[in-house]
Structure 1
Amino acid sequence: MKTKITACLICLLLIGTPARPAEKTAALPILEIVKAVTKKVIKAIDLRIQKLQNKTIWLQNAQKKVENVLSKLKLDEISDWTQKQKDLYKGYYEELAKVKSIITYYQRIKDITKKQAKLVEEYERAWNLFKRDTHFKESEIEYMERVYTGILEESVKNIDQIFLILESFTTQMSDLKRLEIINKAGDQIDANYDDLTMFNQQNMLLSLQRAKTEADANRVKQFYGIP
């Protein structure tokens, strides 16, 4: 992907620097899809975490009650009944550990999805600026659009993987396999975000290089928030 972005930048440089009238360019069609999917994932995760947190509280309270009963028993009172209570306590402990583990998974998935949301925000911010920058020709803006579309499409594929993980909690999937998918999706979204920010930075610098006067260069810096 980074190779593609570098190629895109070279093409932009070769096109030339004629000014382009400022005009509005519609947002990429895929953007609304990415936004909707990302929002859906975060909402689903929040709901599941809330349910698991409620279950955690219930299990902790139940475990505490059994623990209190066992602590009051004397050694000579150990019987079949107390053994059942010990087994019950053990069951609560194991279930609690399992629930906490799942919550950890969900938190990791949510962090990944937030990175996806951040990618969308960064794209929107930069895209709204680039399409108003008269240092770029219309053909260059169209080229940027194709690059952005590619990055967003790749990020959607990673969100599909996250949906697969969410479904895995109701199917037979090992923790190792689930963790492998989570980490892979996280790494890919990180890569998508890095590609996007690098492409944005390169285009900002390109606009700055095309400034013909110091005053124009200062306007470009202010426009993009370049220090």
Structure 2
Amino acid sequence: MKKLLLILAITGLATMAPVQQVKAQIPIVDIIKNAIKKVIKAIDLQIQKQQNKVIWLQNAQKTLENTMSKLKLDEITDWVDKQKELYKGYYDELRKVKAVIAYYKRIKDITEKQVHLVNEYKRAWGLFQQDKHFTPDEISYMGDVYSGILDESIKNMDQVFLVINSFQTQMSDAKRLELINEASDRVDVNYNDLKAFNQQGILLSLQRAKAQNDVDITKKLYGIQ
């Protein structure tokens, strides 16, 4: 990515693809946005489903405890022995469900990071295309870089889908956590690369602005005080 940022500062990039081609590639952002919406909706539904299950388990636990409190002392020992495994099952299930909720919330956090990445891309890409300090070839090159970052975002979404599907298949908690952490790290890298690339472009534009009026217009374009 650092090499890409350096290349951006070079004018007259004759080998770059036409702007029209880049604009045809960029709609992959729609794929990402649709995937994000599906993931968030699926996570919200699953969290609600799992939370309902927690409530059911907690109510069952309360019923058991109330039943125990009504028994006579000489009946408690025998009753507890009979219900020990059932009691244990409730606690084990409750713990598992709460763990699933935690996983889903972590995945939702990752997905929302993707939302920020896509929004940051759309904002910057729209502004750079309005900036007269860049040649068509440079704008085309920027589009290629954005396409690369968005392609990586799709891979991140695939990782998130894999973790969601893992709750329906056999996968260890350790492996599930590993996949979640990997997806989170990659989203952070993509987002940081995107912001760095955007900042480099803004600085280059300001450097090319000659007259003070031109500088002021450029700062206004990018919302710089």
Are the aligned partners of 1:112 and 1:189 in contact in 2 as well (CA < 8 Å)? Answer: yes
Structure 1 segments, 4+ long, off by >6 Å, are: none
User: How many pairs were matched up?
Assistant: 218
Deviations along 1:84-121, whole A, 9 cap, x unmatched? Answer: 33432222111111100000000000000100111000
How does 1:1-227 map onto structure 2 within 5 Å?
Answer: 2=1, 6-15=2-11, 26=23, 28-227=26-225
Seq. identity, %: 62
Are the aligned partners of 1:8 and 1:143 in contact in 2 as well (CA < 8 Å)? Answer: no
User: Take 1:96 and 1:130, find their aligned partners in 2: how far apart are those partners?
Assistant: 52
Q: Which runs of 5 or more structure 1 residues have no equivalent in the other structure? A: 17-22
Segment drifting more, 24-33 vs 113-122: 24-33
Are the aligned partners of 1:67 and 1:89 in contact in 2 as well (CA < 8 Å)? Answer: no
Q: Which runs of 5 or more structure 2 residues have no equivalent in the other structure? A: 13-18
User: Take 1:151 and 1:206, find their aligned partners in 2: how far apart are those partners?
Assistant: 20
Are the aligned partners of 2:68 and 2:76 in contact in 1 as well (CA < 8 Å)? Answer: no
User: Take 1:225 and 1:219, find their aligned partners in 2: how far apart are those partners?
Assistant: 10
Are the aligned partners of 2:23 and 2:143 in contact in 1 as well (CA < 8 Å)? Answer: no
Are the aligned partners of 1:135 and 1:210 in contact in 2 as well (CA < 8 Å)? Answer: yes
User: Take 2:7 and 2:200, find their aligned partners in 1: how far apart are those partners?
Assistant: 12
Q: What's the CA shift for 1:55?
A: 0.7
Q: What's the CA shift for 1:80?
A: 4.1
User: Take 1:32 and 1:202, find their aligned partners in 2: how far apart are those partners?
Assistant: 25
Are the aligned partners of 1:45 and 1:106 in contact in 2 as well (CA < 8 Å)? Answer: yes
Q: CA RMSD in A?
A: 2.0
